[in-house]
Amino acid sequence: MSAEPAEYATFGLAPAMRPGGVLPTGAYETHRDFLDFSINGKPLLLRLADLDAVSPLAADLGPSLFAAQVRRLLLEDAGPVPDSGRRVIYGCPECEGPACGAVTAVVERDGADFVWRDFAWQTDDTVDLRRNGYTGIGPFRFEGAQYRAALEQLLASGAEGPARPALRVLLIGRRAAALTKLAAALRGTGIGAEITRDVADAAPDELRSYGAVALGRGMGETGRAAVRQAFADAGSTAVLVDGLAPIVPLAVAQIEQALDRCPQDERRLLRLDTERGTAVLTVATPCRVRLTGYRLDRLCRTRTTELFDGQLEAGRHVFGLKGMTGEGYVVARTTGGVRCVRLEPT
């Protein structure tokens, strides 16, 4: 075992999201809700700047598999990584297993305590810490009772896993063809979507089952007000997306943003604004960001512009919007978050 940590760290679990999306190629990225590891009050994933991954504690796992993941972290079951003592901390959001690469760490007991050490990026059965180790991450020593309590509470209700967010979206509008395309795209990312023209006869329990409700651009103000009132009367916590963008990948991003329940102080992307023909992005921690511009040309064809794709430091960043004339939108994406902003016609 390496040198002991100098002091104890607190251990907890916090809801997190990997937003899905529609790529310019038409391929889908899967929406995943999971529990991140909160160490000393901060999500561990935020310390890994360029990592698109989820923890093993994902909401869409079956109860038995979810329980097995919990028991591996409690050292009650063997892990899938042959290297002795290692457990998967973060893995690929699109598939299971370490074949695509995973962040692993040695998880071991030291007396009553649990210790996480020797974090590394792993693609084979063994780990080369000199080449693939994460310097500056850990080791972490957790008081045993706190660590066990945080994980064992996930098994207290029959290993049902974490409470899954309402991954259902209600699309309301008159343009059935456009909403049908959007619903298909949402389902491709793993989000359930249904279409209706109004909610006049909907039961309150049904309205409360949605995480977001999106209103088409063709709805009048009277219809919008009626929808807002129906969801309020039902006691729904669904987020309203008022005025869907007329571009499917962009509308998916709008809905993903609405489904994000992560506390503001735990987000990587804090703000996305426009100022005098520029996009202004405020980033909380170093991370890789993809900034994409969308617009419709005069023939209503979608035009996509890759504005930026690279690493950003924490702080405020300004990007030019060359070629973004007329009505347009900008989408910023990173691990765990997506932000959208509409550009006013110029």
End-to-end CA distance of the chain: 62
| Residue, of 346 and 58, whose pLDDT is higher | 58
Average pLDDT value for residue range 73-83: 75
Average pLDDT value for residue range 291-300: 84
**pLDDT (tens digit, 9 = 90+) per residue, 94-112?**
876 667 888 999 999 999 9
**pLDDT (tens digit, 9 = 90+) per residue, 230-274?**
999 999 989 999 878 888 999 999 999 988 888 887 888 999 998
* % the chain with pLDDT above 90: 45
In order, the DSSP letters of 202-241 are --HHHHTT-SEEEE-TT--HHHHHHHHHHHHHTT--PEEE
Which pLDDT value is given to residue 313? 92
**pLDDT (tens digit, 9 = 90+) per residue, 189-240?**
999 999 998 898 889 999 999 999 999 877 888 888 999 999 999 999 899 9
Average pLDDT value for residue range 142-160: 83
161 neighbors 61 (Cβ within 8 angstroms): yes
- In the predicted model, is pLDDT for residue 308 greater than 90? yes
286 neighbors 309 (Cβ within 8 angstroms): no
pLDDT band per the 50, 70, 90 thresholds, residue 113: very high
- In the predicted model, is pLDDT for residue 22 greater than 70? yes
* % the chain with pLDDT above 70: 91
Which pLDDT value is given to residue 114? 96
pLDDT band per the 50, 70, 90 thresholds, residue 160: very low
In order, the DSSP letters of 129-157 are HHHHB-TTS--EEE-HHHHHHHHHGGGTT
Which pLDDT value is given to residue 295? 86
Which pLDDT value is given to residue 176? 77
287 neighbors 48 (Cβ within 8 angstroms): no
Which pLDDT value is given to residue 98? 65
pLDDT band per the 50, 70, 90 thresholds, residue 4: low
Average pLDDT value for residue range 73-100: 79
Q: How far is C-alpha 306 from the chain's CA centre?
A: 21
Q: Of the ranges 11-15, 251-255, 274-278, which one carries the lowest mean pLDDT score?
A: 274-278
Instruction: Give the Cα separation of 165 and 241 in Å (integer).
Output: 17
- How many CA atoms are closer than 13 Å to the CA of 12, on its beta-carbon side? 10
Instruction: Give the Cα separation of 36 and 17 in Å (integer).
Output: 9
At residue 250's C-alpha, the angle toward residues 303 and 343, to 5°, is 70
Average pLDDT value for residue range 151-171: 71
| Residue, of 15 and 81, whose pLDDT is higher | 15
Which pLDDT value is given to residue 55? 93
Which pLDDT value is given to residue 282? 95
- In the predicted model, is pLDDT for residue 157 greater than 60? no
Q: What is the mean pLDDT of the chain?
A: 86
Which pLDDT value is given to residue 159? 43
pLDDT band per the 50, 70, 90 thresholds, residue 1: very low
